Structure 1
Amino acid sequence: MRSPVLLKMAAPIDLELKKAFSELQVKMIDTQQKVKLADLQIDQLTRVQKHAKLTHAEITTLPDKTRLYEGVGRMFILQSKEEINIQLMDKHKTADEKIKELEQKKLYLERSVKDAEDNIREMLLSRRAH
């Protein structure tokens, strides 16, 4: 039978570990959801880039005097070839910048979960040592 002093010390340690594990679990679930969202956003931005690139490639083959129209809501506006090319390049550039930001965000999230796991691992090892 354990002495009352040991039981009193073991209970706070177990509660502390339990709390740390539950916090880690919540953090991991939250991070996994954020990483999935970032992946979806990256996929969507990649499609935007691909669309802009293909449209740009098609437009460059057209003669300079070709009448081009930009879709705006339910209507179409006559635009110059140069204007449409500029818009397509801006779209591509903006998507590229957002993809880089999302990749950085994913790295940060993954690193923070790894740090939390390492902290719990250290806590467990220190508990076993005592």
Structure 2
Amino acid sequence: MSMPNEALQKVLQEISQKKNFAEQQLIIVRQQKAARTREGRMLQLTSSEVSSLPADTKVYEGVGKMFVCTPIPEVQERLQGEGEALKKEMSNLDKKEDYLEKTYTNSKNSLEHVLKGAA
């Protein structure tokens, strides 16, 4: 069963656009994952540095253009909360990456199938 040329071109164009979009989104998601990984390392390093300080040490956090003296437990609590949020975000990015990889692979396979069927 053969498709008319116009319909075949339209199907090829749609599949190709879907494949290209998935490929572009995959690149973006991988860049976001790399950035979040760096943020996670920075949080770990900051947390370990703050943990190694004596209890009576004054710790300052940047707020806008100023610094505010903050107790060490509050700083550690904030860092822990940011770490948990980062883990959730990484989980979501992993799911999105899996979905985009499947979409890309399916589009690529569909494109190849249509091209083989048209030949």
TM-score by length of 2: 0.87
Structure 1 unmatched runs, 5+? 1-8
Quote the residue 2:44 is aligned against. Answer: 53
Q: What are the Cα deviations for residues 34-71 of structure 1, in whole angstroms up to 9, with x where unaligned?
A: 11111111111111111110011111111111110111
Quote the residue 1:85 is aligned against. Answer: 76
Higher relative contact order, chain-length normalized (CA < 8 Å, sep 6+): 2
The SS at the match of 1:28 is helix
Q: 1:48 & 1:122 partners in 2: Cα distance?
A: 42
1:68 paired to 2:46: no
The count of aligned residue pairs is 119
Name the larger-Rg structure: 1
Contact 2:19 2:103 in 1 (8 A): no
Q: 1:34 & 1:28 partners in 2: Cα distance?
A: 10
Percent sequence identity over aligned pairs: 25
Q: 1:107 & 1:24 partners in 2: Cα distance?
A: 19
**Structure 1 stretch displaced more, 110-119 or 35-44:** 110-119
Q: CA RMSD in A?
A: 2.0
Structure 2 unmatched runs, 5+? none
Matches for 1:6-45 after TM superposition, within 5 Å = 12-45=3-36
